[in-house]
Amino acid sequence: MKILLIGTGRAAFHLGHGIRRSHHDLVGIAGRNMERARVLATDLNTEPVQLNEAFPDADLLLIAVSDDAIADVALHIPLGDAVVAHTSGAGDLDKLLPHPDRGVLWPLISLSPGEPMDLAQVPMVIDGNSERARITLKELATALSTRVSELDHGQRELVHAAAAISLNLPTYLLARSQKLLKDQGIDPDILVPAFAAMARRVEAIGALEALTGPARRGDVGTIHHHLDRLTEDPELRAAYARLSSMILRAHGHPDDGLTDL
């Protein structure tokens, strides 16, 4: 399959390397910024393409640009035979109108700058408005990863929300907790090995089993001592009380009025 990747950012970088490692043919990198397109195309041993110029022949145009730019980029791509897809978990397929065969290939992982990521175990969520779009995207997704799921827009929105809750919120709470330590002259990285180990335990035994701490045990006295140390940061204190209440109640313990704090 001939694939043209549109975009020069993080998703394009990692997906581009994934496509290069597969048996598919990456025919070019298209970008509005030709210099960035050239740098990524050189890295991927393919051709740079200016976004508003003629595209090389391709079976799939994969749009990996910022969510808010997808519809505009799609609108300016001349209608043709290629399947047109984006890589966003948040966007529906109508963003790709008026292309007849539309789809999504969403890698469910944080793609950050750095070395090309091994995508083999990364969940790839796909969808398409037509049989042809679905088959095309499944063919690419299965070449990139062993974990491919087909989910419609409503399901993708739920997965996107669940990912935001379960990935972004703990990471932010870590950053905020590290600041607490730093402000007191304590090495903030003292928390990081345990955070990383928790992610590995979740992978091994599941989130509910991996959960530890005073709220799970029902040690409300310890939670109150913690809350006393958080008076300088009322927002974090309120979040700690609310989340602890959720965990206490989920484990059959009384929450001792924590949500009223």
29 binds ligand NAP (CB under 6 A): no
**Stretch of residues binding ligand NAP (CB under 6 A), selected from 30-38, 140-148, 178-186, 240-248:** 30-38
Q: With the CA atoms of 230, 233, 239 and 245 taken in that order, what torsion angle do they form, in degrees rounded to the nearest 10? A: 20
**Stretch of residues binding ligand NAP (CB under 6 A), selected from 26-34, 143-151, 174-182, 202-210:** 26-34
User: Terminal CA-to-CA distance of the chain, rounded, Å?
Assistant: 58
How many C-beta atoms surround the C-beta of residue 2 within 10 A? 15
* Residue 21 or 216 having the CB closest to ligand NAP: 21
- Output DSSP code: residue 45: T
65 binds ligand NAP (CB under 6 A): yes
Task: Compute φ and ψ for 168, nearest 5 degrees.
Answer: -75, -40
**Stretch of residues binding ligand NAP (CB under 6 A), selected from 92-100, 107-115, 149-157, 167-175:** 107-115
Whole-angstrom distance, CA of residue 5 vs CA of residue 27: 8
| Residue among 46, 174, 63, 39 nearest 113 (CA) | 39
Q: Which residue is nearest to ligand NAP (CB)?
A: 9
According to CB under 6 A, which one of 3, 5, 7, 241 is a site residue for ligand NAP? 7
138 binds ligand NAP (CB under 6 A): no
Whole-angstrom distance, CA of residue 69 vs CA of residue 88: 11
Minimum CB–partner distance for residue 122 and ligand NAP (Å):
9
According to CB under 6 A, which one of 66, 146, 168, 212 is a site residue for ligand NAP? 66
9 binds ligand NAP (CB under 6 A): yes
DSSP codes of every residue in 89-128: SS--GGGGTT-SSEEEEEE-S---SSSPP--TTS-EEEEE
According to CB under 6 A, which one of 26, 83, 88, 125 is a site residue for ligand NAP? 88
110 binds ligand NAP (CB under 6 A): yes
Whole-angstrom distance, CA of residue 231 vs CA of residue 35: 50
Minimum CB–partner distance for residue 48 and ligand NAP (Å):
12
| Residues at the contact surface with ligand NAP, assessed by CB under 6 A | 7-12, 31-33, 36, 51, 64-67, 69, 72-73, 86-88, 106-107, 110-111
